[in-house]
């Protein structure tokens, strides 16, 4: 049986953008940079590779993310890879692979966090579990400014997906 699960640890590259789709469900999108560093055995030089991902979270977790993390935060993301395609206004076809998060939390390797449990919300969905807020002098979360989600793609963010 094929399994589509991924766990990433990285730094948030842009403040989470919280929007609400027409049904009222919250959706948050943010960028994640994952660094891989190794020492070249022949040259003894350190080499580094950075991969950039877009992360999407839904419902209560989306609202918790918007309140809890900001650009520069180090987070652990577990989720699944999803491919999405769309057509731009110019008729160009675009495809992107992004991470749909099942869970997001602060990395506690070099930081501390204060956990504030959120109340379970009505609506029949899964519980938000618990919001995390950075501690130990980490970045202050940016205020979330919810906006309607038009269902667009990366062109809405003014950037390329990779």
Structure-token pair, residue 103:
């869970």
Write down the pTM of the prediction.
0.68
Q: What is the predicted pLDDT for the residue at 138? A: 41
Q: Where are the extended beta strands (E) located within 21-73?
A: 26-39, 46-58
Say if CB 9 and CB 34 are below 8 A apart. Answer: yes
Say if CB 96 and CB 53 are below 8 A apart. Answer: no
d(CA 38, CA 47): 5
Q: What is the predicted pLDDT for the residue at 114? A: 86
Say if CB 65 and CB 134 are below 8 A apart. Answer: no
Q: What is the predicted pLDDT for the residue at 108? A: 92
Enumerate domains of the chain plus CATH numbers.
Answer: 6-157 (2.40.50.140)
Per-residue pLDDT of the chain (162 residues; tens, 9 = 90+): 668 899 999 999 999 999 999 999 999 999 999 998 889 899 999 999 999 999 999 999 999 999 999 999 999 999 999 999 999 999 999 999 999 999 999 999 988 888 888 887 655 444 444 444 444 444 444 444 444 454 544 444 444 443
């Amino acid at each position: 049986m094929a399994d589509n699960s991924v766990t990433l640890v990285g730094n948030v590259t842009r403040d989470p953008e919280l929007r609400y789709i027409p049904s009222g469900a919250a959706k948050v999108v943010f960028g994640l940079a994952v660094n891989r560093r190794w020492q070249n055995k022949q040259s003894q030089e350190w080499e580094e590779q950075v991969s950039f991902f877009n992360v999407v979270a839904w419902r209560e977790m989306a609202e918790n993310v918007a309140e809890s993390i900001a650009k520069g935060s180090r987070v652990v993301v577990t989720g699944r890879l999803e491919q999405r395609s769309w057509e731009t206004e110019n008729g160009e076809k675009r495809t992107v692979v992004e991470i749909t998060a099942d869970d997001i939390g602060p990395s506690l390797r070099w930081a501390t966090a204060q956990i504030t449990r959120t109340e379970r919300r009505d609506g029949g969905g899964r519980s938000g579990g618990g919001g995390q807020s950075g501690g130990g002098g980490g970045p202050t979360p940016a205020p979330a400014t919810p906006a309607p989600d038009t269902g667009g793609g990366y062109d809405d963010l003014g950037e390329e997906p990779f």
